[in-house]
């Protein structure tokens, strides 16, 4: 029997920080898992190195489900981003190994293709409305069928407005988190007008998305959703924090704007009410933060029963390993909606050699590459030592902390 011989944890910052797990079997087969938790990377690296790697050595790499149960139930402490990200890294690496052993791409192990490619949405942004309109048009020219639109709110700025390079669209600071001002009234006055401007100038021939990034209360979200109904959004994302899943009932009663939730949620229990009461239209949990391919499929299957579709998180702080794993899952599930996609920085792609390809607004993987189709170049990674960085923090104009 082949056994797990080695498990290594790499932390590097090629463009931004990534934590990567590489498992090697006694037959010399390797598998990769992403373990990146933006701004809290070293916590997952330590969880893996100190508490998980010693448990893996000598185990059968083929028993993916059993390993998942062992790491989840065996820890006693349940859920949470650090634990679920660590479990995800092991799970995805084992799927990668299983594919390589079978000589098949992972999507084949998951049941085979349900579609020819995976529709993605890109991130358009602007410091003002004309800049945003140009950026949305640029994505359309690149072939995107779905575009997310964010513009800076006059006087208070806004999350999601790219500064210079794609990798740094969320300004990340080295010493301490950057503090950004926030005003809900200013956002509520302005955001519906730029979404309307996008439709007025560029029409309805593509999917338009918007990320509220947890900034509103349920009632404010209901007001916002109602105001933008005529823009026919594909979704409004994270209109309010989802710790209280029940609070989405209020939003739902007042607006038909579709709702997407899930990028910070880590388990099926965190989306259970949202799904079973049909309070959302898209579930955005990801491979890396929601326990790997094994657990994400469980979430997506539950969602399918309630006509909730998928829309996995795919910002650049999720590594190319996660993007590849997401594409393999997206290709197979019956209830796929859309996949978020931001191109990774060139430095990132020097370290992660990926076979995922973008064409005509969709991502796909090759039919003849076994496993996930991504390799980690350790030598290239050595040129990008770890640089600690934090996500920003939002403060209201009176100085109090707001949800970022
Ligand atoms: C965002 C993310 O892509 C999105 O929808 O909400 O960029 C998010 O802010 C980061 O991934 C946080 O790490
Ligand atoms: Mg988001």
Average pLDDT over residues 1-17: 97
- Inform me whether the pLDDT recorded for 170 exceeds 80: no
Contact call for residues 105 and 365 (beta carbons, < 8 A):
yes
Percent pLDDT > 90 in the chain is 93
Residue nearest to atom 1 of ligand 1 (CA): 315
Q: How confident is the model at residue 377 (pLDDT cuts 50, 70, 90)?
A: very high
For residue 211 and ligand 1, the question of a CB distance below 6 A is answered with yes
The residue annotated as part of the active site, out of 210, 213, 214, 295, is 213
| Ligand 1 pocket, residue 91 CB under 6 Å | no
State mean pLDDT over 46-73: 98
User: Is the CB of 34 inside a 6 Å radius of any atom of ligand 1?
Assistant: no
Ion ligand 2 residue ranges (Cβ < 5 Å): 211
pLDDT surpassing 70 at residue 167: no
Structure tokens at 333: 């599930």
Residue 163: which pLDDT band, with cuts at 50, 70 and 90? low
- Residue 8 pLDDT > 70, yes or no? yes
pLDDT in tens, 135-145: 999 999 999 99
Q: How far is the CA of 315 from the centre of ligand 1 (A)?
A: 6
C-beta of residue 112 within 8 angstroms of C-beta of residue 198: no
Query: Which residue's CA is the nearest one to ligand 1's atom 3?
Result: 315
For ligand 1, whether the C-beta of 317 sits within 6 Å is yes
Rounded to an integer, what distance in angstroms lies between the CA atom of residue 288 and that of residue 296?
9
Residues near 202 by beta carbon (within 8 Å), at least 6 away in sequence: 133, 136, 137, 140
Catalytic residue flag (residue 213): yes
Q: How confident is the model at residue 390 (pLDDT cuts 50, 70, 90)?
A: very high
pLDDT given for residue 145 in this prediction: 98
Told to judge if 159 belongs to the known catalytic residues of this protein, a careful annotator would answer: yes
pLDDT digits (tens, 9 = 90+) for 255-285: 999 999 999 999 999 999 999 999 999 999 9
85 touches ligand 1 (CB under 6 Å) = no
Which of 171-175, 198-202, 333-337, 343-347 has the weakest average pLDDT?
A: 171-175
Domains and CATH numbers, the chain: 4-104 (3.30.390.10), 109-369 (3.20.20.120)
This prediction has a pTM of: 0.97
The confidence score (pLDDT) of residue 364 equals: 98
| Residue located nearest, by CA, to atom 6 of ligand 1 | 213
Q: Which of 32-41, 170-179, 305-314 has the lowest mean pLDDT?
A: 170-179
Residue 169's pLDDT band, with cuts at 50, 70 and 90, is low
Is residue 41 in contact with ligand 1, taking CB distance under 6 Å?
no
Lowest mean pLDDT among 115-129, 154-168, 354-368: 154-168
Burial class (CB in 10 A: 0-12, 13-18, 19+), 73: exposed
Is 220 a pocket residue for ligand 1 (Cβ < 6 Å)? no
In this prediction, residue 168 has a pLDDT band, given cuts at 50, 70 and 90, of low
Predicted pLDDT of residue 273: 98
How far apart are the CA of 287 and the centre of ligand 2, in A? Answer: 15
Mutate to test the pocket of ligand 1, among 241, 263, 326 (most ligand atoms within 8 A of CB): 263
Q: Taking the CB of residue 102, how many other CB atoms lie within 10 A of it?
A: 14
Which ligand 1 atom is nearest residue 314's CA? 3
């Amino acid at each position: 029997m082949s056994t797990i011989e080695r498990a290594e944890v790499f932390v590097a910052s090629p463009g931004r920080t990534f934590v990567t797990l590489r498992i090697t079997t006694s037959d010399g087969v390797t598998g990769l898992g992403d373990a990146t938790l933006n701004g809290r990377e070293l916590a997952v690296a330590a969880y893996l190195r100190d508490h998980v790697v010693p448990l893996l050595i000598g185990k059968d790499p083929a028993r993916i489900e059993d390993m998942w149960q062992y790491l989840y139930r065996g820890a006693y402490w349940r859920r949470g981003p650090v634990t679920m990200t660590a479990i995800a890294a092991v799970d995805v690496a084992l799927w990668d190994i299983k594919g390589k052993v079978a000589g098949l791409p992972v999507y084949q192990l998951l049941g085979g293709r349900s579609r020819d490619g995976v529709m993605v949405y890109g991130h358009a942004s602007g410091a003002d409305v004309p800049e945003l309109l140009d950026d949305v048009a640029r994505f359309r020219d690149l072939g995107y069928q779905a575009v997310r639109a964010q513009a800076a709110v006059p006087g208070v700025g806004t999350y999601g407005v790219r500064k210079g390079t794609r990798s740094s669209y969320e300004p990340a600071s080295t010493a301490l988190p950057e503090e950004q001002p926030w005003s809900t009234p200013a956002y509520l006055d302005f955001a519906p007008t730029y979404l309307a401007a996008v439709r007025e100038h560029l029409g309805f021939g593509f999917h338009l998305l918007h990320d509220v990034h947890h900034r509103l209360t349920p009632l404010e979200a209901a007001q916002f959703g109602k105001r933008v109904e005529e823009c026919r959004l594909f979704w409004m994302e994270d209109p309010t924090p989802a710790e209280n899943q029940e609070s989405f009932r209020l939003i739902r009663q007042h607006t038909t704007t579709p709702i997407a939730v899930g990028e910070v949620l880590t388990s099926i229990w965190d989306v259970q009410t949202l799904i079973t009461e049909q309070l959302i239209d898209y579930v955005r949990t990801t491979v890396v933060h929601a326990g790997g391919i094994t657990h994400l499929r469980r979430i997506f299957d539950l969602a399918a029963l309630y006509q909730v579709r998928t829309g996995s998180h795919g910002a650049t702080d999720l590594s190319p390993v996660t993007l590849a794993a997401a594409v393999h899952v997206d290709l197979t599930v019956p209830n796929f909606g859309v996949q978020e996609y931001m191109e990774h920085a060139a430095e990132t792609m020097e370290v992660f050699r990926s076979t995922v390809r973008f064409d005509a607004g969709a991502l796909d993987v090759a039919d003849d590459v076994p496993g996930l189709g991504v390799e980690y170049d350790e030598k290239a990674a050595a040129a990008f030592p770890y640089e600690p960085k934090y996500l920003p923090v939002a403060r209201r104009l009176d100085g109090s902390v707001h949800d970022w």
